[in-house]
Structure 1
Amino acid sequence: MSRSVTVGDPHRPDADRADADPLAGTPDEDGIAARRRRRLAGLGALAALLVLSALLSLLIGAKLIPPAEVWTALWHPDTANGIVIHDLRLPRTWAGVLAGAALGLAGALLQGHTRNPIAAPSILGITQGAGLAVVLAVFTLGITTMLGFIWFSFGGALLAALAVFAVGSIGRGGATPVALALAGAAISALLQAVTSALVLLDRQSLDTYRFWKVGSIAVTDTALIWQVLPFLLFGLVLGLANAAGLNALSLGEDVARSLGHHVGWSRAAGIAAIAVLVGSAVAMCGPIGFVGLIVPHVARFLAGADHRWLLPFSALMGSCLVLLADIVGRIVARPSEIQVGVMLAMVGAPFFIALVRRRKLVRL
């Protein structure tokens, strides 16, 4: 017969030393503390990379400006370099930081709520809703400036997300991941078809939509950023607050309910955060792809599956990715440039394929 032993049993040769010393941590506690230190170090490294990327974004362009002159230009906007920094590169850098954080966080939320490892903002029709709203603004009202149709793009994204959530909630099962994915695919196809039809009817709509469709952070109007900023901040706060609900939902809806979480409210808050984040980013910069698809997988590899860490990792990593892709686009085609949406498509597709094949990160 085997004899049961208790922790610290003197007859057990491998008795835990932690039990002999009440001040020492258990192995589990030590492991948790070590993981927390690694994650904090990872956040610090990403924050440092973001600062470096922002500095490079101010330095590099059609004209290289030395760091000392950039510092001087920041305090003297009336000089030649000051005009370049304040009117062109500084708004562009802010747009990259905000759009990247929004898309990275939205991608993590989207993959978590749909339980779909290849989910992207287009899976819920958000991008298509924003695109249709832009075309309608040009086609019906003749609006051609970004500042003019930003509200249409934002409203279209919100309405598309609400429509997907409403359609996906029909039935006894409610807004399940499969129902949301199917509703998103159907509504996305419908919105894209209507957009294509309107674009073919009006050349002005085609020209405006084609420029917006590429995806670019080359924002020169600071007023545009200030208009989008409150919505982006609200979406970031709402998305980060959704971490606890996502952790519970990852265990299954029945387990989440048994733990006291309201599944419907958690999903509604998550969908609202996704709509606000993607709608704002798309309205400001156009549909920039691959950020919401790639970033959550890399963040999950570095931070683990805990959404309390995964979400801030995704936001910081999204900002870094967009800024670095934009910088590379300025370098490879100098004195011209390649838009960030094109660069991310060129680099993101093979990178994501290699990531999936080597790390098998598609399993959530």
Structure 2
Amino acid sequence: MDFLGINASNLLNTNDNSNPLMWLVWIVPIFVFMLYGQKIQLQITSSEINKSLEKLKTYRDDTRKELIDYIKNTLKPNWDISPRLDRYIEYFTIMPVDMDPNGIVSKIRHIMRTRENFTREQVRTLATELNSLEASKIANILEVVTTIHLLYKSVRHLFLTAKKQNNFPLILPLQMMIPFIMEEAEALRTAVPAFKQGQPIGDGIGPMIVGKMMVDTKKMEAAYETVWSEKEFEGRKLLLMKAEGPSGTVGRPGEATEKIISKVKPDIIIMVDAALKLEGETTGSVSQGFGAAIGGIGTEKFQIEEVATKHEIPIYAVVIKQSIKEAITLMKKEIADASEKATSQIYDMIKENTKTGQAVLIIGVGNTIGVSQ
């Protein structure tokens, strides 16, 4: 067939190596990608990251609005709280110098306690009559908004820097990390309703298990927002410790452990906590191990390990597996149902590793919102 004097069959004849048009079809794209390949990839990648960045901005704005609406509806302040909350959201923490690591844990603990105390007191200034439960709810939601805001600013900085310098290799690390960042941000966003309603979250499974064991026992203060009690089990003395619920707090398990051990030295320590599952693992599966099962920045973990090492007390761990989203959102049935299995394993560990007359310290680690004792 002829079209404008050109034989179409000859034009499309790929077997004719001397056809100049076919050479252009293959060679021109190669030269284009050699010269502009990185820029093209940068534009495609930038478009994908920009969509995630817009999502992060939406998450931040939505959670901020939810926090403001919750405070207005619950506390009914007669003044505009938005400027003060926006100032809180922009607060930052400078870690101490680590050139000399000796004593750095105590420095970090001091700085973080200062921040926690300041935030707690500032939240209480929002209303004259504010109970500890409502204060903890607001503080937890404020922490969610602050974290999402920090994620948004960090991603935006890396994204704009890469675009400004037109640097494709600079944007590659961000492209690799963005799925994990978005997973965390989505989890934080969906955590707000549970905090507002004071419902247990997945991370509260440790305090829930120990809280059930503490039923009908006399509770005593072990440290700030941390309680403990004693009970007997087959001739052993159980020392039970968790953050004081139903407020949304993790307590101070490190300080509490030191105080309890100074009164009654246990023969073993068993820590019960939520743990991030690996892909393919089942939500609510229970595992046993060794060492201090506790997250955070490491100060509480260091304190527990230090006192346990000083008194030569073995530390055992029981963890309930869950994803990061499941850990900070409303507790799933699979996680709650795992409490019976975990409790059974705890009692088995006690019988296997202690004798009659010995003492066991059992620590329920996690945010105890919605979980009493």
Q: Report the TM-score when normalising by structure 1.
A: 0.32
Q: Which has the higher contact order (CA 8 A, sep 6+)?
A: 1
Q: Report the TM-score when normalising by structure 2.
A: 0.31
> Is the helix fraction higher in 1 or 2?
1
Higher alpha-carbon Rg:
2
> Is the strand fraction higher in 1 or 2?
2
